[in-house]
Amino acid sequence: MTDIYRAIADPIRRKILHMVARAECTQSDIVAAFSISQPAIKKHLAILQEEQLLLERKQGKYCYYRLNTPVYQHEFSQLQRELGLVLEKKLAGLKHFLEEEQ
């Protein structure tokens, strides 16, 4: 079940997400954009796919990747909510502290 935290843990995977959001890319487009080997890129793509953030379309010898936008959008807003709550809790604590101080 989509662990976006795992997906985004690596900076190369984050850059891949940017690439495939901007436009559909072939695997070799992606390989060309980095200075690591094709199998290494493949593994990153596999992780992004395991986490459902990537869709692929196979055409001839090419494999096109694009963002799975609905999933990304959903997972991103969940993440924002989860991490945003941390700050809200902090604020609530400060508020409480100030109100006790009257």
Residues making contact with its own copies (CB under 8 A): 5-6, 8-11, 14, 17-18, 21-23, 67, 69, 72-73, 76, 79-80, 82-87, 89-90, 92-93
Percentages (nearest 5) of helix, strand, coil residues in the chain: 65, 15, 20
Rg (Cα) of the chain, in Å, rounded? 19
Among 21, 23, 36, 92, binds DNA (CB under 7 A): 36
15 binds DNA (CB under 7 A): no
CB of 99 to its own copies, least distance (A): 15
Among candidate residues 28, 33, 20, the one with its CA nearest the CA of residue 62: 28
